[in-house]
Homo-oligomer: A and B are copies of this chain.
Amino acid sequence: MSVFKKRLGQYVTLDDEEWGPFDALDHKEQVFLAGDDIVRAGDAIRHVFIVMEGWAIRYRLLEDGRRQIVNFMLPGDVFDLQSLADLKADHSLTAITECKVLVIASDVFVDMLQCSASLASAFWWSAVQEESILREQIVRIGRRSARERIGHLLLELQRRFVGATGLDVERLTVPLTRADIADALGLTPVHVSRTMSAMRRADLITEGRGGEITIVDRNKLARLSHFDTDYLHLKKLQIIGAGRRVMEPGEPQRGLAD
């Protein structure tokens, strides 16, 4: 099953028939190399994109070169549903690793939403989750210390990655430079470097070759970063892997760092 269906599956469970109108969509698949722009600020957007593989960033550049990364697009993420409103992009989207992306014309996409209430509901959840992630990003930057910001972001990325792939990995390969993390969290690369060094010394994370970050003790890091998954609006937890439990919809969820 595609990462995309797995991701939406975190909110609703659709059977093959319900996926029908989606599977029948006229679409193309496009590959972007690391560094390629997917959407440029000012572009008229006429397509909906779904990330199948790779990571991308959504960011704004200020006149003087400062950059703010607004959020990260991971496998399974959908953007820009805002294109349905026929507007110009107010920010840019760039692949930071090689990305495989599904591209669907906005009008075709709208037709699909109108003919299937269950698909519309699933995509609506996706849009709501994205907005919720933006709000959490505001809280993270506005009211947390550097260490809390970094820990919180790592936990979010890890949790979102698990949601899309179903793989319960503590060891996440994060293709982000110190500058990327800094521009996402409102810090400088130097300070990110120092803070992450301190986090390594405090046994919160370890780092290996090529951006591989391991969260040593998820609960401890979650406590220190005040991370709580509520804002991701996950209705159930479906994890595939050795010795993992599978939760049913409706089963109450632990609040912290699951």
A interface residues, Cβ below 8 angstroms from B: 11, 58, 60, 62-63, 66-68, 70, 82, 84-85, 87-88, 90-91, 114, 121, 124-125, 127-128, 130-132, 134-139, 141-143, 183-186, 226, 230-231, 233
Contacts and interface: CB of A to CB of B under 8 A. Distances in A.
Contacts of A125: 85, 87
A78 B121 CA distance: 19
A96 to B, nearest CB: 18
14 contacts: A60-B135, A68-B138, A70-B135, A82-B131, A82-B132, A84-B124, A85-B125, A90-B230, A114-B114, A130-B131, A131-B131, A134-B134, A142-B183, A142-B185
> How many copies, total?
2
Contacts of A183: 142-143
A252 B88 CA distance: 14
A127 B80 CA distance: 13
Contacts of A84: 124
A85 B143 contact: no
Given A90-B233, A131-B134, A226 B142 contact: no
A186 B142 contact: yes
A91 B233 contact: no
A114 B82 CA distance: 18
Contacts of A85: 11, 121, 124-125, 128, 233
Nearest to A11: B85
A82 B143 contact: no
Contact of A62 (B60, B132, B143, B184): B143
